[in-house]
Amino acid sequence: MKRDTATKEKAPPSSNGRTKQGHRLESLGRDMGVHVIMFHQAVAERLGLSITDHKCLDFILREGSVTAGELSRFTGLTTGAITGVIDRLEKAGFARRQSDPDDRRRVIITALPQRLPEMGKLFESLGRNMGRVMLHYTPREAEVIVDFMQRAVDVMREENLKLRNAK
Kindly report the pTM of this predicted structure. Answer: 0.80
Say if CB 50 and CB 91 are below 8 A apart. Answer: no
DSSP 113-128: STTHHHHHHHHHHHHH
Is 2.60.40.2230 the CATH classification of the domain at 21-113? no
- How large a percentage of the chain has pLDDT more than 70? 89
pLDDT in tens, 83-115: 999 999 999 999 999 988 888 888 899 999 999
Quote the pLDDT of residue 12.
54
